[in-house]
Homo-oligomer: A and B are copies of this chain.
Amino acid sequence: MASASDPNRIWTAAIVVIGDEILSGRTQDRNVAQIATWLNAQGIRLSEARVVADDAQAIAEAVNILRARNDYLFTTGGIGPTHDDITVDAIAAALGVAVVVHPKARAVLDAYYADKGGLTDARLRMARVPEGATLIENRMSGAPGMHIANVFIMAGVPHITAQMLDALTGSLEGGAPLISVTLGAWVPESEVADILRTAERDHPGCAIGSYPFFREGKVGANFVVRSTDGAQAQACADELLATIKGEGIKAQAGEI
């Protein structure tokens, strides 16, 4: 990536979650939330996520559209040794490159399986990468993550992806992180809708989200003020809290 000449530039990423197990409802995805949180700390904003089937054409379509639209694209899932792990082949096809055995990945697997019966064809599948890819470190399993162009190929198992994100921390260029300031109030959100709208209008750099809940038999809502300028976010949240309390509503700084 070229260095950012504009300090206000917004860097974006997208995620493609690959896996029939997510679309069948069998498995609850946790990688979108995990990667989104990590991206925030890198100063990169998640702009879109898609969940697609274990289908080469669906993967390639999502990858090519989203990597063109964003600075970075992350995929999760489908990099294991079994027949339904088709991510590497699908991404190589999408990028128009061959699939090759990465010598370092092969060496790692060789060492890992030296006393476990050696490298079989199935195990060797985990050393296959799109040609030109570099590896993303992972101490938990044999299958490495991969990085090629602006595409980062991660595991499906969330704690393996967590290790890969750890290895990437600080290596991606980003902008100013998005700062969030949260306040909560024991009020139906419809009661304060006008107050929220006015607060957002009066603080142009801030976006306010309203997240209602039902708890202890009562309704309430948390309000999240987001801005790349932490002082502005705090000022907007402080003013909003004062206005809501001024209506005689029980409210607090921080999440309820």
Chain A residues within CB distance 8 Å of chain B: 20-30, 32-40, 45-54, 58, 80-85, 120-123, 125-126, 140, 142, 157, 178, 180, 189-191, 193-194, 196-197, 200, 207-214, 224, 226
Tally of this chain's copies? 2
Is B58 in contact with A53, judged by CB distance below 8 angstroms? no
Contact assessment for A83 and B53 in the assembled complex, using a CB-CB cutoff below 8 Å: no
Inter-chain contact A122/B48, CB cutoff 8 Å: no
Contacts of A32 in B (CB 8 A): 22, 25, 29, 51
B209 touches A20 (CB 8 A): yes
- Say yes or no: B193 contacts A82, CB within 8 Å: yes
Specify the main secondary structure of chain A where it touches its partner: mixed
Of listed A24, A38, A48, A213, residue having the most chain B CB within 10 A = A24
Select from chain B the residue with minimum beta-carbon distance to A22.
B32
Residues of B within 8 A of A178 (CB): 24
Known: A21-B211, A24-B180, A121-B194. 11 other contacts (CB 8 A): A23-B47, A24-B178, A25-B38, A25-B46, A27-B33, A28-B30, A50-B50, A82-B190, A83-B200, A84-B208, A84-B210
Are A25 and B33 within 8 A (Cβ)? yes
In the complex, the answer to whether B50 meets A49 with C-beta atoms within 8 Å is yes
Decide: A81 near B193, CB < 8 A? Known: A26-B224, A53-B48: yes
Cβ–Cβ < 8 Å partners of A53 in chain B: 47-48
23 contacts between A and B (CB under 8 A): A20-B209, A20-B226, A21-B211, A22-B32, A23-B36, A24-B226, A25-B33, A25-B37, A25-B40, A26-B224, A27-B211, A28-B30, A49-B51, A54-B209, A80-B210, A82-B196, A82-B210, A83-B196, A122-B191, A122-B193, A125-B190, A157-B212, A157-B213
A180 CA to B226 CA, complexed, in Å: 43
User: Which chain B residues border A27 with CB–CB below 8 Å?
Assistant: 33, 211
Report B-chain residues with C-beta under 8 Å of the C-beta of A38. Answer: 25
Nearest residue (CB) in B for A55 is: B47
B25, A29: Cβ atoms closer than 8 Å: no
> Per a CB cutoff under 8 Å, which of B40, B48, B126, B197 touches A24?
B40
